[in-house]
């Protein structure tokens, strides 16, 4: 396991503040029944910040046409929808909801060329609400190869105020490599061709890079 490259600045700042708080508590609060629980909370938070920015090692399944999960989390939407922004056709939408304890680093679902990228400022509704897909702050990315194309969105949520996306139009993405991060919980919407063989169902817990969401081109 490694730490996400964008996390070190936040980790350093939080640890610096935490150490200052520990110093102040130690010198100004004499009651151990107060100071010890405070120390425990601070140490827990310091550890959680490192845990939050973890980048785990994952096994990437072999196979042509496989679409793997962009993020860890739960499948909360699995439905046929019309995608109006870029694809402009009916697709299968697969949405993954991340909570605070999931890995928040995102990974390319397929290998291929980035054909579309756009950042959308927006609101911060709860990420599992249907309207969040259109109204919340999000990025939109499409990546394409010989088997087909996958369009996906990184959506901000109520507590998320930072989305990072590494997509650049014309550049290549590699399945299982990092494509960005959504900080403090949110959602990924994936839009797949109608003839894709969907391999997950509502309520499934998925793991980025490892869980096969679909096979492009059918079975």
- Confidence at residue 98, expressed as pLDDT on a 0 to 100 scale: 87
Query: What positions carry a catalytic annotation?
Result: 186
Whole-structure pTM value:
0.82
Q: Mind listing the pLDDT tens digit for each residue in 138-191? A: 899 999 999 999 999 998 865 555 788 999 999 999 999 999 988 766 889 999
Domain boundaries of the chain, sorted by first residue: 2-55, 66-215
Beta-strand relationship, 163-165 and 105-107: unpaired
Q: Mind listing the pLDDT tens digit for each residue in 87-144? A: 999 999 999 998 878 888 899 999 999 999 999 886 655 555 555 566 678 899 999 9
- Confidence at residue 135, expressed as pLDDT on a 0 to 100 scale: 62
How many whole angstroms separate alpha carbon 132 and alpha carbon 137? 8
Helices (H), 81-211: 132-135
**What is the pLDDT confidence band of residue 74, given thresholds at 50, 70 and 90?**
very high
Q: Look at residues 196, 215, 178 and name the one whose alpha carbon lies nearest to residue 71.
A: 178
The domain 66-215 is placed in CATH, from the list 3.30.470, 2.70.70, 1.10.287, 3.40.50, at: 2.70.70
**What is the pLDDT confidence band of residue 21, given thresholds at 50, 70 and 90?**
very high
């Amino acid at each position: 396991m490694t730490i996400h490259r964008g996390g070190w600045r936040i980790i350093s700042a939080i640890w610096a503040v935490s150490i200052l708080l520990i110093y102040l508590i130690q010198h100004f609060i004499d009651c151990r029944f107060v100071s010890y629980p405070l120390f425990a909370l601070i140490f827990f938070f310091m550890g959680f910040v490192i845990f939050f920015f973890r980048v785990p090692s994952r096994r990437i399944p072999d196979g042509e046409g496989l679409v793997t999960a962009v993020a860890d989390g739960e499948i909360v939407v699995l439905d046929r929808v019309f995608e109006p922004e870029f694809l402009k056709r009916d697709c299968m939408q697969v949405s993954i909801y991340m909570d605070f304890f999931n890995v928040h680093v995102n990974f390319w679902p397929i290998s291929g060329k980035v054909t579309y990228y756009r950042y959308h400022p927006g609101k911060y509704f709860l990420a599992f609400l249907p309207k969040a897909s259109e109204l919340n702050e999000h990025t939109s990315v499409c990546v394409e190869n010989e088997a087909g194309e996958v369009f996906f969105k990184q959506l901000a949520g109520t507590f998320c105020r930072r989305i990072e996306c590494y997509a650049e139009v014309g550049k290549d993405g590699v399945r299982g490599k990092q494509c960005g991060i959504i900080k403090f919980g949110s959602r990924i919407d994936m839009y797949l061709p109608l003839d894709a063989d969907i391999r997950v169902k509502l309520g499934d817990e998925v793991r980025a890079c490892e869980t096969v969401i679909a096979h492009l081109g059918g079975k």
